[in-house]
Chains A and B, each alone.
Chain A
Amino acid sequence: MPLVSSIQKFNKRSMRLFDKFYLSLQRLLSRGLFFIFGPLVSFAVFKIYRIRTDNLSEVRKQYRKFLNQDKGPLIICSNHLTRVDSIVQSTFLNSIWGYWVNYRSLPWNLPEKTKFYHSWYFRLSCYLGKCIPVLRGAPSAESKRSLQKMLYILNKGDVLSIFPEGRRSRSGKVDTEDFSYGVGQILKECPNARVLCVYLRGKKHGGFADIPTKGEDFYFKMEMFKPKSDLKGLRKLRDDSTQIINKLHSMEEEYFSL
């Protein structure tokens, strides 16, 4: 038994080393090829789809300020309405040059494995676009492995972007009833992480959709947020997640009150 136990421990440790190597390599290749895919994505968003936001320079200035305020781990928590929210968000948050200079500012994303890894070009795009695939309802071991990867990149100083609702909101509004506790889980393991709440929504045809309509003008607002909870364990995890969802909900109410 001790031998089996040692082998199991070695496998777990070597697996973690493999993951670290894999993520480091992914980041290196992503950065190396960013000068090709970065402008392509930017061209597609701004020129082909003509997606815009009124306050682009202000958004980028604010993002730089948040990044430089503190070098600690940063988690971006956004509402989720379209399949390309993370792409739109990334193109708004920083310029191609800004990402090139400070590559940690390009957020890692967590696409659902079954939906985004079905073809080689999706897999390649996700790989180069700094993505960690996650499987909804995955066995405990796989969920933990994904969590370890997220913690690794956060502790390396890279930004992680997640959708705290856990899926696109079918109602078109932040779902304050049936949401995931994933962000609480990450905060439980990485309590010093800062949370940047982002609310983005197309002003013309905002709501649940696969992709935004061409020429969409986006409302984009972000605020730093610190969940406060005296609870412990799973209750804290739930409480932190709920507070973040409520923050996004209040940002949404602010949008609709304009």
Chain B
Amino acid sequence: MMTETQVFDKVAGLIAPYAKNPDALKTLSKDSKILEDLGVNSARLVDIVLAFEDAFDIEVEDEAADEIWTMGDAVSLINSKIQ
């Protein structure tokens, strides 16, 4: 069973390659907005969600994917799937 911190760190690692604002990665929190703060291109959100699916062996429904705006949203969603 992964702890929330472990999930958070793994999520951060998966998002990092798509972040155009590397400085924001240093001060990452659950409130960090994936698009605005990390500078992720909206089109890449699909790649990120699919990366979550592969890395955590989960399935994310389209509607749930639409609700991922912050790091906290991503971590909560993944936690709810891997419990």
A and B interact physically = yes
Q: Are B46 and A166 in contact, with the CB atoms below 8 A?
A: no
Contacts A137-B35, A140-B66 given; indicate if A234 touches B43 (C-beta within 8 A).
Answer: no
CA of A234 to CA of B54, assembled, Å: 13
Q: Quick check: is A226 within 8 A (CB to CB) of the other chain?
A: no
Q: Are B46 and A234 in contact, with the CB atoms below 8 A?
A: yes
Contact of B50 among A137, A144, A234 (CB under 8 A): A234
B62-77 Cβ-contact flags toward A at 8 Å (1 or 0): 1001110000000000
Please count the residue pairs between chain A and chain B whose beta carbons lie under 8 angstroms apart in the complex: 29
Contacts A234-B62, A234-B65 given; indicate if A137 touches B42 (C-beta within 8 A).
Answer: yes
Q: Are B50 and A140 in contact, with the CB atoms below 8 A?
A: no
Contacts A235-B50, A238-B50 given; indicate if A181 touches B43 (C-beta within 8 A).
Answer: yes
How many chain A residues sit at the interface, stated as a range, is 10 to 19
Q: Quick check: is B49 within 8 A (CB to CB) of the other chain?
A: yes
The distance from the CB of B67 to the nearest CB of chain A, in whole angstroms, is 7
- Measured between beta carbons, the chain B residues less than 8 angstroms from A181 are 43, 46
B:1-56 near A, CB below 8 Å: 35, 41-43, 46-47, 49-50
CA of A235 to CA of B49, assembled, Å: 10
CA of A182 to CA of B67, assembled, Å: 18
The distance from the CB of A196 to the nearest CB of chain B, in whole angstroms, is 22
- Measured between beta carbons, the chain A residues less than 8 angstroms from B46 are 181, 234, 237-238
The distance from the CB of A130 to the nearest CB of chain B, in whole angstroms, is 24
- Measured between beta carbons, the chain B residues less than 8 angstroms from A180 are 43
Of the A-B pairs whose beta carbons lie under 8 Å apart in the complex, a sample of 27, sorted by A's number, is: A136-B42, A137-B35, A137-B41, A137-B42, A138-B42, A140-B66, A140-B67, A144-B66, A166-B43, A178-B41, A178-B43, A179-B43, A180-B43, A181-B46, A233-B61, A233-B62, A234-B46, A234-B49, A234-B50, A234-B60, A234-B62, A234-B65, A235-B50, A237-B46, A238-B46, A238-B47, A238-B50
B→A interface (CB under 8 Å): 35, 41-43, 46-47, 49-50, 60-62, 65-67
A→B interface (CB under 8 Å): 136-138, 140, 144, 166, 178-182, 233-235, 237-238
